[in-house]
Amino acid sequence: MDKRVLLIEDEPSLIEAIRFILTRAGWSVQTHSDGASAVARIREARPRVLILDVMLPGRSGFDILDELRADPEFAALPVLMLTARGQYADRERAERAGVSRFMSKPFSNAEVLDSVNALAGAG
């Protein structure tokens, strides 16, 4: 199975934590921290699973997800969206945009790994 994940997140400690969790489980993890150039990075990386933060510098994760879902090439890309706010409105907005899974911070290592593994099997 293709085990490539692209993590689009701007918080360094979270990037390192998620990279550690997934790398230890055999995933190849690439990272990107800027919302404005995120879609170009996704097109370049062609990940098996995308982990996408809601609040990014330059462009929101919601806007990025909207663009991906409008593109037939990326419409089915499994996306795990992360948010620090965890409000119902955010979850609802993500679901309307076609997110695969939605997770509020903080989350456990097992939650992240289980979600990525499930999305890789489903995508």
Q: How far is CA 123 from CA 1, 74, 78, in A?
A: 11, 11, 6
Confidence of residue 25 (pLDDT cuts 50, 70, 90): very high
Band the pLDDT of 63: cuts 50, 70, 90. very high
Read off the CATH number of the domain in which 68 is found: 3.40.50.2300
Q: How far apart are CA 52 and CA 20, in angstroms?
A: 17
Enclosing domain of residue 79: 4-122
Mean pLDDT of the chain: 94
pLDDT, residue 88, reads: 84
- What's the rounded Cα separation, in Å, for the pair 46 and 106? 27
Q: What is the pLDDT of residue 17?
A: 95
Whether the pLDDT of residue 122 is over 70: the answer is no
- The Cα–Cα gap between 7 and 49 comes to 9
Residue 123 has pLDDT above 70, yes or no: no
* pTM of this structure: 0.95
Q: Span 71-100, mean pLDDT? A: 92
> Domain count of the chain?
1
What contacts 32, CB < 8 A, 6 or more positions away?
A: 6, 7, 8, 38, 41, 45
User: Rounded to whole angstroms, how far apart are CA atoms 64 and 53?
Assistant: 10
Q: What percent of the chain stands above pLDDT 70?
A: 97
